[in-house]
Structure 1
Amino acid sequence: MEEQIDVLNADGTPAGFSCGRGKVHAEGLWHRTVHIWAFDSNRRILFQLRSRVKENNPGLLDTSCAGHISAGDSSVNAAVRELREELGVHKSSRDLEYLFEAKHESVLNGGSYLDNEYYDVYRITLSDDEIKSLVPQPGEVDGFVWMTREEFFAKHKLHPEKFVEHPKDYCWLEENA
């Protein structure tokens, strides 16, 4: 069964109904997602390499972990679920540091995938044991890349086409990571 997602009005308020993920993106309906940035004890940033079979942004480096908030779910519960599914990391809501909310609009795949979302951004720190046991979710994540903030911005400047663009997240990384 297709994941059901709560639809929002353009101002971010609930529209009062849910629908399938496919319809959300085919019609460009506003919805909520989460982004989680994972760090190690040396403040290196974990980037996920999106699976080459993903519908949008295949094979690009992206936030450590991200995903849709299912209908009726909370942002923090979705973040905990996505960490478990995409990285194999088991965290509790207390381990997540809420950072900010952002709004993003994008047109992908020649206009067949419309992504209009409000997203909550979180930060976590992974232990050495968690880092050793990272498991990419097949079909979602092909691998992981660790970078210092300086390495990320240098690589992004030279090859922005290798990254999923998240300007508000990157601004936060530049000022706070």
Structure 2
Amino acid sequence: MDEYVDILDEQGNPTGQSCLKSEAHRKGLLHPTIHVWLYTKDGRVLIQQRGKHKDTHPLLWDVSVAGHVAAGENISLAAVREVKEEVGLHITQKDLEPIGTFKAVHKISEDFIDAELHHIFLCELKVPLGALTKQDSEVDDLALIPLFKFAEETWGLANVAKYVPHGPTYYKTIVKEIKSRI
């Protein structure tokens, strides 16, 4: 869905301008997104396989929930909305633990540069995997895997081609933050 997004400067500050998401991608304009990593107290992390029709990284495994922040939308409310849309889980802003931001620029093609400032949250998953409902247009599959396996595959470089290429620094941060909470 093409929606309006706010444009950020190189430091991640709002410029006061907004445009359609498609234009931001075409021009490589930095814009805000959310990443929510759902984890269990027994040391598992929820990953999603991106839908086969996604413009970027189709069928690769990725963050539990990710999405764009609509123009003028509150960051944590966008996270709550995306969790509901993508995996059918009702959470509140109080359930979210912000752990920072991460700037990512991926050149998909000559006319598609994905320049995003990810606002990253952790959220404890308190329901079984079977209680989640994936959004078929966005998510191909969901899996709950042990944190050590996730760490091995992402920044242990055992199976990086399976995942969206966020890079070892990003994945190390996620693993360390989750590990400190279990």
Determine if the TM-score, normalized by the shorter chain, exceeds 0.5. Answer: yes
Q: Which string of whole-angstrom CA distances, capped at 9 and with x for unpartnered residues, describes residues 99-144 of structure 1?
A: 1111111111x33321111111000111135x33211111100111
Counterpart in the other structure of 2:175: 174
Shift, 1:43, TM fit: 2.0
Q: Distance in 2 between the 1:135 and 1:25 partners? A: 29
Letter in 2 for 1:82: E
Q: Does 1:133 align with 2:134?
A: no
In the alignment, structure 2 segments of 5+ residues that lack a partner are none
Query: Helix, strand or coil: the match of 2:136?
Result: coil
Residue 152 of structure 1 corresponds to 150
Cα drift, residue 154 of structure 1: 2.6
User: Is the counterpart of residue 118 in structure 1 residue 117 in structure 2?
Assistant: yes
Pairwise CA RMSD? 1.5
Equivalent position amino acid for 2:122 in 1: R
Whether the aligned pair in 2 keeps the contact of 1:60 and 1:163 (CA below 8 Å) is yes
- Work out the CA distance in 2 between the residues paired with 1:2 and 1:128: 32
**3-state SS of the aligned residue for 2:165?**
coil
Report deviation, 1:151. Answer: 0.7
Q: TM-score, normalised by structure 1?
A: 0.92
The amino acid that maps onto 1:118 is L
| Count of aligned pairs between the two proteins | 175
Give me the identity figure in percent: 32
Q: Is the 8 A contact 2:151 2:172 kept in 1?
A: no
Rounded to whole Å, the distance in 2 between the matches of 1:118 and 1:173 is: 16
Q: 1 CA distance for matches of 2:97 and 2:12?
A: 22
Q: Which moved more, 1:16-25 or 1:149-158?
A: 149-158
Q: What SS class does the counterpart of residue 114 from structure 1 fall into?
A: strand
TM-score (norm 2): 0.90
SS at match of 1:128: coil
Q: Which residue of 2 aligns with 1:68?
A: 68
1:176 alignment partner AA: E
Cα offset, 1:42, TM superposition? 1.0
Q: Which 4+ residue blocks in structure 1 deviate beyond 3 angstroms?
A: none
Opposite residue 89 of structure 1, the aligned amino acid is L
Q: CA deviation at 1:174?
A: 3.5
Partner of 2:56: 56
1:20 corresponds in structure 2 to: 20
Unaligned runs of 5+ in 1: none
Alpha-carbon offset, residue 169 of structure 1: 3.0
